[in-house]
Amino acid sequence: MKTIWRLHASKYFFMIAGAIVLVVVVFILGDAFKYRQVRNSLTGYMDNLRDMIFMSTYDSLKKGNMKLFKSHLEEIGTFADVREFSLLDKEGRVRYSSDPTLVKQVDFGVVGLGHLQDKIHDGLTTYYFPVETISYCSRCHPDWKIGSINSYYKLTLSRTALDSIKLTTFYSHVFTVVGGGVFLGFCYLLLMLYERKKHEEQLHLSASVFENAVEAIVITTFDGRVQKINPAFSNMTGFLEEDIIGQDIHLLDAGAVNTDTYAEMRAHIKSSGQWSGEIWNRHKSGEILPARLSVTAVRNHQQITHYVSILYDISAEKATKRALIEMDQMKSEFISSAAHELRTPLSAMLGFTEFAREPEKFGGFSDTQIKEFLDEVYDRGEALNQIIDDLLDISRIENGYAIELNLQEVPLRDFLDKLVRSYKTHHASHTLRLELPAASRDEVCLIDRHRMTQVLENLLSNATKYSAAGSEIVLTCSLRPHVWEISVVDHGIGMTPAQLVRIFDKFYRADASNTAVSGLGLGMSIAKKIVELHNGRIWIESLKDEGTTATFTLPRVSA
């Protein structure tokens, strides 16, 4: 992240620096061009001034008429630009001058001078012009030889304007360069502040995402030491920061179950820098939990420095898959059981009916035997009817339809007594005992008589099926605050804790083998639903090989 930030900052800085340098160069070139133009203009002006003065002021100087000279200077330039204009003889003595104090002074710079010469000193440029004798001059000076040098003009011009332009241009260049540098530094400072702020915002965002992520995230060093975790990691594994920071990440290892997975992980990370798959982790409590893990290697100059691991808790997903597999298995067992449960009574009914219809084919039967056959057909028909009722009830529940109740105020003592007497008639193989509380005016219940009969017959049927013949089954009813508590107690084979947990699951049978007792595994699920519709609750207590107690409650209603 820091390297990326520096690359961005450098890119923007060099772009701005290039633009500023370009502007500075353009300004300097513009100033240089302007200086050259001004310098040429001033130099031309001074040359023109020199030539004009030389060609037109001889008579003025010779005659000492400086007013004419000044007037002429004002026409062609500024008098202040001329520091001195003098006429010197061959020995260098000043004969005439624009500065009267210089007259009769000697300037040895002209002695022996035979051509135009200029000198620069103290911000001044001095020109020496040798004057040759011409025919015009011989009228007044017949002794002068034509073509010989008889005198010199001395013209001293100020360089102030030219030097001022040059100095100004120099200062301008310095100001441009310094100003460009200052502006560049200011831009760089602003850029750094902007990039730093943006970098801090990105860091804050990254930290916020890290801290608030739903997935468990852990950052480890190259050697596997935990450097940072987020709250979701603690929620998933139970390890807090003080428990695991600085510890080896293999603290979560569930053991040999991950051996092959770790080998695959190392190979993939080495080749591609990342890996994703399922792994088993150890919770702080010691529980082994499944997780989906994604690992990414973090590199610095092609060298791995850290690993970022993201874990997803897939316990619920695994549990759902197991539940679906078990449900499919249960449904398969249910179909097999349903076919068996329907075929058995139907075969018996067909057989006994055939005996009753054509007794002569089997050597004849007495009236008592024929009655027994019809009783068997009736009993098997009731069994089929019960199976069909269970299937219809579970179908309604599965499709979201409520089981309708026809609630009536029923004297509970009479209802249970009648149910037990009826059950004894059809199940003489077991001893059924009823225990009721003393008579009370609160013994009336608001129930659906048919549905509550269905619940109790299911509980009594289970007690009978899973108890040895001749054993005692007890149906008790007792008063509790606000409820009746009804229990069916047997001393049969009982259930294991694993069986007990699933007793109310649809299609579940504790023993689903072909030799097991009959049933579709729907009765307890339907009984639980009916009891809950009566605003009661039902539970089972059981110990393997010691028996089972099935208990449910019903709200009390005053008579």
Which of 74-88, 172-186, 272-286, 422-436: highest mean pLDDT?
A: 272-286
Q: What is the largest distance, in Å, between two alpha-carbon atoms of the chain?
A: 196
Angle between helices 523-533 and 367-398 (to 10 degrees): 60
Q: What pLDDT score does 536 carry?
A: 92
What pLDDT score does 439 carry? 58
Identify the pLDDT of residue 5: 46
How far apart CA 191 and CA 5 sit, in angstroms, is: 11
Name the least confident of 140-149, 222-231, 549-558: 140-149
Q: Does an H or E element contain 89, and which?
A: strand 82-89
* pLDDT in the model for residue 150: 80
Q: Pairing state of beta strands 288-300 and 303-313?
A: antiparallel
CB atoms within 10 A of CB 56: 14
For residue 488, name the pLDDT band (cuts at 50, 70, 90). Answer: very high
Give the pLDDT of residue 7: 53
Q: Is the pTM of this model over 0.75?
A: no
CATH class given for the domain over 213-313: alpha beta
Per residue in 150-184, pLDDT (tens digit) is 888 887 877 665 566 666 666 666 777 777 777 77
- Asked if residue 513 has pLDDT above 50, the reply is no
Tokens 């590199």 belong to which residue? Answer: 299
Token representation of residue 204: 């804050």
187 beta partners = none
pLDDT at 64: 47
pLDDT of the residue at 516: 46
Domain ranges of the chain: 2-165, 213-313, 319-397, 403-555
More confident residue, 483 or 111: 483
For the chain, how big is the Rg over CA atoms in Å? 61
Query: CATH number of the domain at 319-397, please?
Result: 1.10.287.130
**pLDDT of amino acid 298:** 86
In order, the DSSP letters of 276-342 are EEEEEEE-TTS-EEEEEEEEEEEEETTEEEEEEEEEEE-HHHHHHHHHHHHHHHHHHHHHHHHHHHH
- Phi-psi region for residue 223, left (φ > 0), alpha (ψ -120 to 50) or beta? alpha
Q: Please provide the average confidence, as pLDDT, over all residues in the chain.
A: 76
| Cα 168 to chain centroid, rounded | 60
Question: Does 319-397 match 2-165 at the fold level?
Answer: no
- The yes/no answer on whether domain 2-165 falls in CATH 3.30.450.20 is yes
Q: Please give the average per-residue pLDDT across 266-293, as a whole number.
A: 86
| Candidate ranges 50-59, 117-126, 369-378, 543-552; pick with highest mean pLDDT | 543-552
pLDDT of residue 491 exceeding 60, the answer is: yes
Residue carrying structure tokens 């940072």: 228
DSSP H helical ranges for 358-366: none
Is residue 162 within 8 A of residue 125, CB to CB? The reply is no
Question: CA 505, CA 520: separation in Å to the nearest integer?
Answer: 11
Count of positions (residues) in the chain? 559
CA-closest candidate to residue 546, choices 485, 502, 492: 492
403-555 belongs to which CATH class? alpha beta
Q: What mean pLDDT is predicted for residues 340-354?
A: 70
Helix (H, G, I), strand (E, B) or coil at 412: helix
Tell me the H-state helices in 213-275. 231-237, 241-244, 259-272
pLDDT band per the 50, 70, 90 thresholds, residue 397 = low
> What are the distances in angstroms from CA 63 to CA 69, 95, 486?
11, 10, 155
